[in-house]
Structures are given as C-alpha cells and as structure tokens.
Amino acid sequence: MGIQLESETIRDGIGMTDISELLESAKLGDRRSLSKLISAISESDDPPRINSNAGWILGVTGPPGSGKSTLIGQMVRAWASTGEYVAVLALDPTSPLSGGSLLADRIRMEGDDLRENVFVRSIPSGKTPGAISPILWPICGALSECGWTRIIVETVGTGQSEYRIAALVDRLLLVDGPDRGDIIQAEKAGILELADVIAVNKSDLPGASSAAQHIRSSLSLASDDNREVVLVSAKERRGIQELIEIIENSKPQKTRDKMMAMERLISEWDSFLVSHPEIDNILLELCNGSITTKEAIEVLVSSIKDGVL
C-alpha cells in the first residue's frame, strides 16, 4: 500500500477534552485519530502544550528545484525499512491575498514500497508570516508522544521559513543542487551557517562535485567547522545511506536554545497579531493615517492587558 496524504479538512469543532481523547487514541496507533488530532491542534485558538522527551526532528530546507521532496522520499524509505516510524510535515505557505496554499502539490513520495509506518501531512501556514506557524511545536510534540521516532519538517525553501525552521528542529539539513548560485544565496541569508549537514543533490548532473567542493572550501575558512558535505542523487538513490548515517551521528546544537525561544516568541506574536479581532480596523486606520504605528501597537498591547485574547 502506498503512502497516503492525511485529510486536511476535518473540522469537528473539537475542544480540549476531545484533543486529550484523540491523543490517547492516536497513541494506540489509530491513524484517523492522529489525523483528527493534528486538525484539532491546527484549529484550536489555544493549542495544547504537548511535551515529549523522545523528540527527534529533522528540518530540511533549500531552494526550490533542489529535489528536497524526492530526497526526503528516499530517506523515508530507508528509515521505514529499518523499522523507524517516520512522520513528514510539509510546510505550505498560504497566500496573503487569496488565503490559499499549495498543500499536497509538493508531496512527491508516492510508491508501493513505502510502508504503513509512514505518515505525511501538509501544513498550511495560515496567516502566520514566514510559513512557520506556532502550531508546529504542539504537532511535533503530539507525533513524538504517539511514537513517531523520526519527524521531518520540510520548508518551501523561500523567505524567512528557511531561517526560522532552525529554531524548531534538532538537526537541520540544507539541500542544494549543482548550481553554485543557490548556495551563495544561502550563505548570504545565513542558512549555510545554521545547517548541521549539507547535501548536494543531483550528483548525477555536471557541476555537482564542483559545487560540493566550493561549499567545503567555504566551511574550511572556520578552523573548527567540521560539518559534512554529502553528494547524493535522489533520482538514482545514491549516497542516501551515507547521508542518513551522517544525520544520525550529528548532535543537536545547544547554541540554538536561545534562538528557539526567540523564534517561538516571535511566532506566537505573529499569530496573535494577525488573529486579533480588530486587526482589519487597525490596518484600515493605519492606511488612512488616522493612527500611527506606535498607536496601533499600543492598542494591541492594551488588549493583552485587558484579557481580550
């Protein structure tokens, strides 16, 4: 049986009591309850705190066209074949104009060789800027609590989501293709500095080895930088096992703790801001000049003090 994308549109008006019940049912292996649980967390005005010490989260980022989804599919197959329970969360940006998202369009991991111990879910960003929603933390916690031993979060590969994902995950994999120009952009954005492992995908194409060497040269400028640069070909299934072993052996960076706390705070504030009941009126007044930005912020802060949200 091939991999199936879990439902995105379950809207049962589920409350906190039901979330607890769904969590208990999902922990027993019920896939429908797990899908409902994630929907309930996504739709909750006050997502539950689900903390699990067994968390193992890999972030995968990189420019569009680098083959992230295909590479993830190969890694999922490898992990699943060894008995790991692998969950993939694909982050999909929501248009600020239409409100629509790409959803499953980027999921390209079909195949009869994928096992039942694989769960794939596409997560729209909603109104949260940067495509990193605060609901990701409780969702990852729920997956871990339910026994999913490998959680992979894939970004769309553009904008702030590339940087912000580093605050959520234990390990960060940067995927790029043979085009050196994309890595230069990653260096400028600070993504290369945050990555724990770098994979140059499409190693079957010309320029891949040269691109990998350029990256190694950049990393060598720091005497204590011993991060691995791996040549892989998701299409030809080459280098996958080596990449997995390097990821498994990489240790989470403790220096991310402060960054993680900061990004969670920013993510929660962003969510609060765009979900505020008066946000449309505030924006209208900002547009017509009847209030200043400082005055708008004071309105928002006052609503927190008054317990509006």
CATH of the domain at 31: 3.40.50.300
List pLDDT tens digits, range 96-152: 444 443 444 444 554 545 568 899 998 876 555 555 677 888 899 999 999 999 999
Q: Which of 253, 271, 289 is the last residue of a domain?
A: 253
Same domain membership, residue 191 and residue 111: yes
Task: State the DSSP code for 43.
Answer: H
How many C-beta neighbours within 10 Å does residue 96 have? 10
1 within domain boundaries? no
Domain count, the chain: 2
3 within domain boundaries? no
2 within domain boundaries? no
Per-residue model confidence (pLDDT) at position 278: 85
Q: Estimate the crossing angle of helix 136-145 against helix 31-43, to 10 degrees.
A: 160
**200 sits in which H/E element:** strand 197-200
Residue 297 domain boundaries: 259-305
Same domain membership, residue 206 and residue 286: no
71 within domain boundaries? yes
Same domain membership, residue 237 and residue 90: yes
Per-residue model confidence (pLDDT) at position 47: 65
91 within domain boundaries? yes
Nearest-Å Rg of the Cα atoms of the chain is 20
Per-residue model confidence (pLDDT) at position 255: 64
Per-residue model confidence (pLDDT) at position 101: 39
Those residues of the chain that have pLDDT short of 70 are: 1-17, 45-55, 93-115, 125-132, 157-163, 179-190, 221-223, 252-257, 259-260, 263-264, 267, 305-309
41 within domain boundaries? yes
Please say whether the beta carbons of 167 and 270 come within 8 A: no
For 171, left (φ over 0), alpha (ψ -120 to 50), or beta?
beta
8 within domain boundaries? no
Same domain membership, residue 287 and residue 181: no
Same domain membership, residue 269 and residue 231: no
Per-residue model confidence (pLDDT) at position 84: 94
Retrieve residue 222's tokens.
């720091």
Same domain membership, residue 249 and residue 298: no
Q: What is the largest CA-CA distance in the chain?
A: 62
Same domain membership, residue 48 and residue 161: yes
9 within domain boundaries? no
In 3-state terms, what secondary structure has residue 185? helix
Per-residue model confidence (pLDDT) at position 215: 83
Same domain membership, residue 234 and residue 278: no
